[in-house]
């Protein structure tokens, strides 16, 4: 699959950061037995990966701005372009030695998402997409699953963790969705959940309480794989509302209706 110069830049940055994370992941697995635990080590791995990505992208595209999980906002002189970077999505998995985590890089041009990359260095799976160019897993073209009934579907979600989110609301949503689908998965990485929707491995996915870097690259992937991504009100304010729902056209709508149903009934 021929890649554009822009995507080559993104791939080079992700691969370099991924090599460091793969090495660090091996160390984390060893640290599991220590009394102190691997928490401090993982935060250092996160920062190292982000610095690698920042340095690589800045060198290749000087002047582009950044929005990063660790480093926050860096204004660029370009004014038209902004990288959105999560150097380690799935930190809790990484922390516990679970090989389901990813580097996530997206590019905004004049406020529109135009490119996305998600790379899991533990499995060597590289997901890439550019607007108008399709979505790929390594060199294989991706399409979202085409199932038409929730009763045939496996969907993923994000579970609010300790001290964050509305647990009661989520449990009501989950009860409604569980009653309509084959299975629900919680895998611990928003970026990879969206990549799996793009690859047809998952039929749908929803989550609240997200940040832009959790979902930016995955949004591009799903759309370029023929899928639909919105906020939970069928709008396009995923970043502003901190939420996302994705699938093929029919499944995204059916899943959204199932997720919203308890909220509607609660008001009557």
User: pLDDT tens across 126-167, in order?
Assistant: 999 999 999 999 999 999 999 999 999 999 999 987 777 888
> Using CA atoms, how far apart are residues 202 and 174, in angstroms rounded to an integer?
16
Looking at residue 2, its pLDDT comes to: 75
- Residue 117 and residue 217 in contact, taking contact as beta carbons nearer than 8 Å: yes
If asked whether residues 175 and 78 sit together in one domain, one would say: no
Same domain, 212 and 236: yes
What's the token pair of residue 157? Answer: 């979600």
- 9 plus 136 within the same structural domain: yes
Strands 81-89 and 125-130: unpaired
Last residue of one domain, picked from the residues 95, 118, 141: 141
Count of domains forming the chain: 2
Whether the pLDDT of residue 28 is over 80: the answer is: no
Q: Do 28 and 98 belong together in one domain?
A: yes
Q: Which residues are annotated as a binding site for Mg(2+)?
A: 69, 86, 88-89, 214
Last residue of a domain, one of 110, 141, 172: 141
Q: Give the mean model confidence (pLDDT) for residues 74-98.
A: 93
Residue 34 above 70 pLDDT?
no
Of 88, 118, 141, the one marking the end of a domain is 141
Same domain flag for 15 and 134: yes
Kindly tell me if the per-residue pLDDT of 267 is higher than 80.
no
* Domain CATH number, residue 123: 3.30.540.10
What is the extent of the structural domain holding 229? Answer: 150-265
For residue 29, with 0-12 CB atoms within 10 Å meaning exposed, 13-18 middle and 19 or more buried, which class applies?
middle
The answer on pLDDT for 18 being more than 80 is yes
Question: Burial level of 40, CB count in 10 A (0-12/13-18/19+)?
Answer: exposed
Share of the chain above pLDDT 70, in %: 92
Q: Residues 121, 164: one domain?
A: no
Q: Based on the domain organization, do 71 and 188 belong to the same domain?
A: no
Q: Taking Cα atoms as reference points, which of 132, 264, 246 lies closest to residue 196? A: 246
Same domain? For 134 and 243 the reply is no
> Across the chain, how many H-helices and E-strands are there?
8, 13
Least confident of 37-51, 52-66, 139-153, 216-230: 37-51
Average pLDDT of the chain to the nearest whole number: 92
Evaluate if residue 74 carries a pLDDT over 70.
Answer: yes
Q: Are strands 81-89 and 65-68 parallel, antiparallel or unpaired?
A: parallel
SS3 of 82, please?
Answer: strand
Residue 266 has pLDDT above 50, yes or no: no
Q: Extract the annotated binding site.
A: 69, 86, 88-89, 214
pLDDT of residue 264: 53
Q: Are residues 26 and 106 in the same domain?
A: yes
Q: What pLDDT is attached to residue 165? A: 81
**Strands 204-207 and 244-247: what pairing?**
antiparallel
Asked if 125 and 216 sit in the same domain, the reply is no
Residue 35 pLDDT level (bands cut at 50, 70, 90) = very low
Predicted local confidence at residue 26, as pLDDT: 86
Is 43 in the same domain as 136? yes
Statement to judge: residues 106 and 40 lie in one domain: yes
Does pLDDT of 27 surpass 50? yes
pLDDT of 72 strictly over 70: yes
The CATH code of the domain that includes 228 is 3.40.190.80
């Amino acid at each position: 699959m021929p890649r554009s110069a822009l995507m080559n830049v993104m791939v080079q940055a992700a691969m370099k950061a991924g090599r460091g994370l793969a090495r660090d992941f091996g160390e984390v697995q060893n640290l599991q037995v220590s009394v102190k635990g691997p928490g401090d080590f993982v935060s250092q791995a996160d920062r190292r990966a982000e610095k690698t990505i920042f340095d690589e992208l800045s060198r290749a595209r000087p002047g582009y701005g950044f929005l990063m999980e660790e480093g926050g906002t860096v204004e660029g002189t370009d004014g038209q372009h902004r990288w959105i970077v999560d150097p380690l999505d799935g930190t809790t998995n990484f922390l516990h030695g679970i090989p389901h985590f990813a580097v996530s890089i997206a590019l905004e041009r004049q406020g529109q998402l135009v490119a996305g990359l998600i790379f899991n260095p533990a499995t060597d799976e590289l997901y890439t997409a550019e607007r108008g160019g399709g979505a790929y897993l390594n060199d294989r073209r991706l399409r979202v699953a085409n199932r038409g009934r929730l009763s045939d579907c496996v969907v993923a979600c994000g579970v609010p963790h300790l001290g964050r989110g509305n647990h009661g609301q989520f449990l009501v949503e989950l009860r409604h969705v569980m009653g309509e689908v084959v299975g629900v998965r919680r895998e611990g990485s928003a970026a990879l959940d969206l990549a799996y929707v793009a690859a047809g491995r998952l039929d749908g996915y929803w989550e609240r309480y997200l940040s832009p870097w959790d979902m930016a690259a995955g949004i591009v992937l799903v759309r370029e794989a023929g899928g639909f991504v919105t906020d939970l009100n069928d709008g396009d304010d995923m970043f502003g509302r901190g939420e996302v729902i994705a699938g093929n056209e029919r499944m995204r709508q059916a899943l959204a209706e199932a997720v919203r149903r308890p909220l509607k009934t609660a008001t009557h």
